[in-house]
Chain A
Amino acid sequence: MTTFAELPPGFADKVLSAQSTFRSVMDAMARPGSVQCVTANAGVPSGLMRGSAAIALTLFDHDTPIWLDAAMSETTDVARWLKFHTSAPVIADSSIASFALIGDAGSLPALDCFAFGSNEYPDRSTTLILQVDSLTRGPAFELKGPGIDGTALLQAMIRPRDLFERLAINETLFPRGIDIVLVHDDAIVAIPRTTRLVASGV
């Protein structure tokens, strides 16, 4: 079975790694704009960052359809790795995906390609996992919303540059909307649908 010969392994310690990653994602969601660190170690297929790989192993399963962007589906590495370790179905239709893995955020499709959930089930929306260039330097974004005492300052190199303008649809859609997790290497920042941009500077 040489087809599996290059497949990177999953978590070395499934239970503890998944729990600690879940905790990091939960903290990130509870404190939007704060930078959380994913400590769990797992094998990483080419194209995926450590943080996104850990999130995938923790949150994906056979009930969560996954959509991959062009950068992720360039080779079959990511799809095969996801299939083996999480048994999550990789689908072509982004509007019914539970998660979308975005490798090249510059070419992020319009947000209405993804699921917003329904008023009865707002949780049936797509969570975007966006790999970005940096979460410690770059333009500053001032954020407010539930989970933030006053305002939170996020410095990040985010592409697309108009991400927060696009996320303005969350305001009108509420309780439907899109949640985003930004990943750079092992650092993650969550932008849940309740978070609003106050000001952005350079």
Chain B
Amino acid sequence: MGLTGQTSKEGQRKAAMAVLAHASAAEIAGHLADIVLPAHENLREPENGLVMLRGRIGGDGAPFNLGEATVSRAAVRLASGEIGFGYTLGRDAQKARMIALCDAMVQSADFSGEVEAKVIAPLRAGLHAERNRKAAETAATRVDFYTMVRGEG
């Protein structure tokens, strides 16, 4: 695979992760039910753990440990050899497993089109709609202040 091919694949995986991580487990499961899943096995059973979140004040201060967050992770391998990894905040083991499965399918030549069209795209549309709705809701409460011109300069 050429460098550009690899980069675009990586970009596609990143974009899929960004959507899947924000979607709820029930939504992912609902969309996954629409496609015939390829044979797969759990390479790493879903497990929970902690990651240390680090912060910087103002984005450029000295790094400090903000606190720990619970994450779940899983790794799934398709019968054809592609391996997908799933990490998500929280303790939802099934969500981590489904994300890993989607990640594996995104890498597979046979399934990437289908999973993109039937799972990722609808989830992305839902996510955008929700963000737009919230933005519109917030925008409706906006108050613009302006100053009347007072007399002479």
Q: Chain B's nearest CB lies how many Å from the CB of A58? A: 14
B44 lies within 8 A of A2 (CB): no
**A23 interface residue per 8 A CB criterion:** no
Beta-carbon nearest neighbor of A14 in chain B: B45
Q: Chain B's nearest CB lies how many Å from the CB of A101? A: 21
B43 lies within 8 A of A7 (CB): yes
**A146 interface residue per 8 A CB criterion:** no
**B82 interface residue per 8 A CB criterion:** yes
**If A1-B107, A4-B77, A5-B77 touch, does A10 touch B45 (CB 8 Å cutoff)?**
yes
**Cα A73 to Cα B81 with chains together (Å):** 24
Selected from A4, A11, A13, the residue in CB contact (under 8 A) with B83 is A4
A9 lies within 8 A of B81 (CB): no
**A71 interface residue per 8 A CB criterion:** no
Beta-carbon nearest neighbor of A2 in chain B: B81
**Cα A11 to Cα B81 with chains together (Å):** 19
B83 lies within 8 A of A5 (CB): yes
**Cα A176 to Cα B42 with chains together (Å):** 41
Please, which residues of chain A bring their CB within 8 A of the CB of B47? 14
Beta-carbon nearest neighbor of B42 in chain A: A9
Residues of B in contact (CB 8 Å), total 11
Please, which residues of chain B bring their CB within 8 A of the CB of A84? 44
**Cα A12 to Cα B42 with chains together (Å):** 8
**A85 interface residue per 8 A CB criterion:** yes
A1 lies within 8 A of B42 (CB): no
Beta-carbon nearest neighbor of A17 in chain B: B45
Selected from A1, A2, A5, A13, the residue in CB contact (under 8 A) with B45 is A13
**Cα A11 to Cα B41 with chains together (Å):** 12
Beta-carbon nearest neighbor of B78 in chain A: A5
Q: Chain A's nearest CB lies how many Å from the CB of B100? A: 12
Beta-carbon nearest neighbor of B41 in chain A: A9
B44 lies within 8 A of A10 (CB): yes
Q: Chain A's nearest CB lies how many Å from the CB of B30? A: 27
Selected from A5, A10, A12, the residue in CB contact (under 8 A) with B81 is A5
Please, which residues of chain A bring their CB within 8 A of the CB of B83? 1, 4-5, 7
22 examples of A-B residue contacts, CB within 8 angstroms = A1-B82, A1-B83, A1-B107, A2-B81, A2-B82, A4-B43, A4-B77, A4-B83, A5-B77, A5-B81, A5-B82, A5-B83, A7-B77, A9-B41, A9-B43, A9-B44, A9-B77, A10-B43, A10-B44, A11-B45, A12-B42, A14-B47
Contacts from B to A (Cβ < 8 Å) = 41-45, 47, 77, 81-83, 107
